[in-house]
Structure 1
Amino acid sequence: MELLIASFGESPGIVTEAIDILLDKGINIEKVILITTKDSDIKEGAEFIKRHTHQYNTYQGRISVDVKTVEEFEDIITDNAIERFIKITKEIFSFHKKEDTYVCISGGRKNMSTLLALLAQIYKAKMLFHIIPPQEIEKKWEDLRPLQSYPDEINKFLHPDISQIKFVPLPLQPLISPWMQEKTADEFFNQSDYSAAAKIYRILREEISDPRRIEIKELLSWSYLNWDLFNFSKAKQKLEEVVKRIKQYNHFLIDKIEHLQNQCLILSTLNRNKEFTENIKDNQYFENIVLSLFSKAQRYTQSGIYDQAILCLYRILELISQNRLALKGMDTKKVKENIRNKYKEKFAKLKKEITGASSEIPEKIALLDSWILLAVMGDTLFGNKKELKKLYEKTNIRNKLWIIHGYSVGKKKEFSKLEEYVHKWLEKLIENFDKKLKIFDFLIFE
């Protein structure tokens, strides 16, 4: 039997177009398995394709369609969703291991396509392919739903002339050795693409006889990913699991356990349920959050992502003023009226000297205004007019970025200038800054 497995998303026509192309190539598909999420529109579209395929005259009722749903999830992005998708897909491949299997990855979520393509390699599918219909033909189910009672109309979108559709066969390499899969995942990990690394580790650990090392690497990937996403609770949970497994297995990364335990302590400090203004005035929290951001900025530069690296440095400068204001009982989100009235004249004068234009103190203040306010309130750290002008000049790098207000792309030169400036500030504020920063270094797999 010849079987088509397809990830299924918002465009039902992808499936019928794939079937038509395979039939044209002399591949007589007898069964189709669609893998979907629990999204109601997508499930409805899949059920329609199931009925349509059975009724469509050209198929003569000889093609059956099954729909497999990752019931608990509308997208495949969380740990549990990925694990569930992999489990369902592996069961499909295993059950049909004697069939000639053709795999289409054109539909569904991006992660579904990526994981399905990888599993097609592992389970030795006969063909892996992608199709690209013209935009005017590719319709979502919400567009096709009103046409259900008009077969001639709906078939224009479900069964267009196949010459209009681009068929892209994808290379099926011989099964990659576990060693090569691990090295590929390690490369993703070392480039800070922890999500991609974790997905490969997850599949690999179920394929090898001794998965202990891979299990640790997968857990560490999830921990670092969540740390970078500021989900400190989950990062801490995963990292504590890493330390537990290292102690249990007493081999892999045993020489790194002290470093990882120190990182667990950092995450414990960052994982707080207090209000931000309470957290930021705590010196240990302040140090750890800015060190975390500085380390994250450096990781971004390793992948050439300078825009995001610059934003991390800018956020550090914001946190410096938020820390100083919080120690004075103030919140940058809501500066009290009595403070705004008391310092408005000094503020307006100093701001004009710095930027060329005066203004009142806003209730919600941004970076430059918060530094100027601290200066007029007598904070000696910010009292230097020359330093405030330098801040104004340096932070314009951020304001010119495409993703903020401007038309510039972040570059290494601009990042390096801002990094040097922020580094000098952190050396002033954090004792043994460079030594402490090393604790925030994420591991690299050799």
Structure 2
Amino acid sequence: MLLLLSGGIWIAMTLAICGWIGQAFFVSTEPGKNLFSAFWESNASWELAALPLFIWMGEILFRTRLSEQMFEGLRPWLNRVPGRLMHTTILGCGLFGSVSGSSAATCATIAKVALPELKRRGYNERLALGALATGGTLGILIPPSITMVVYAVAADASIIRIFLAGFIPSAVLIALFMGYIAWWSIRHPHLVPAADPPSSLGEKLRRSGSLIPCALLIVFIVWVLVAGYATATECAAYGVAGSLAIAAYSGGLSWDNFRAGLMGATRTSCMIMFILAGAAFLTKAMAFTGVPRELAEWVNSMHLPPAALIACLVVVYLVLGTALDGISMIVLTAAVVLPMVQKAGFDLVWFGIFVVLLVEIAEVTPPVGFNLFVLQNMTGRDSNTVARAALPFFGCLIVCIVLVTVFPQIVTWLPDAIMGQEL
């Protein structure tokens, strides 16, 4: 895989070639049939239909100047905070992640909106790439999340409890990301644009008026989703319709912008879906060879104490994360890992959030860090460059995992407080 990637082969083709070699030479299955089924199954999904719609929503915001108006509205409020508008990458990923439930959609959409504005205003591109790569992973930690649903089904656990358990850890992670941006900005003041002159409260409110239409759109999307009036895919459709309406009302929508945004969303969506298909084929090869199951059974055979078991599972999932997507990691290891975790006395809801955090790390771990691929294709930067930029934020993810391990109440308090112990 590393050899093919370094040779400039397309990412999706590299994944598919590795899957073909694994199935052709190491197992008895027919790779051709599995190739067709993997490509179809990975893309013929109602939930995945939300991906191109959310990306189109980001394209509309970007191409009709609504994104610039949003940044202008946020600018006076973040003017005195170390890092200033760089925090919009994390805040935007947090807000959008709560709607999309997808790491790839969150990363691609916020990058499309934020990166051009930050570069135009003179912010450090390396820091922005790192923040977007890891901030995009909030899409699978902030409920609702497809990854959480998959885990809940595999563990036979309450989906609602797991959703509730994700809120506080996601807030902790957002605080860690923004704390690092502030710390970096204090250490490198010459790389941060100068602060604007102080503004009065009335001026801040006046300049924030441009935020109201987009803020109302986000609130509406979150409300219809939480209230159960629409699925995530239907919310994405509402987002596109609302973005077009706002752009038309503000006078920024033209036929050229509409066409350019639609074509841009098509290209980005096809790129992501092609990579998803290649990853799905590689996942089938991993499943047939039994590597994830063998790793999990090897850990089980050591009969480790609880703390050592968790530490060992971290290593196993980090290794799997270099070659598998998050959902595949959960599905392929659940049958072996969940019984031993439950036997060790760990709460399955807590372990679900623990695994989701490990999946977040997998999203930014080379060579198959999916968010790295998304940003590489959107910016032209090498995935290794993006990975190095994400390294400090990677450390924030590790700190969050340590915190939820040492203080499991971070995960379990909210579902226990709202739903009690009975579930």
Fold in common (TM above 0.5): no
The structure richer in helix per residue is: 2
Greater relative contact order (CA < 8 Å, ≥ 6 in sequence): 2
Q: Give the TM-score normalised by the residue count of structure 1.
A: 0.21
The structure richer in strand per residue is: 1
Structure showing greater radius of gyration is 1
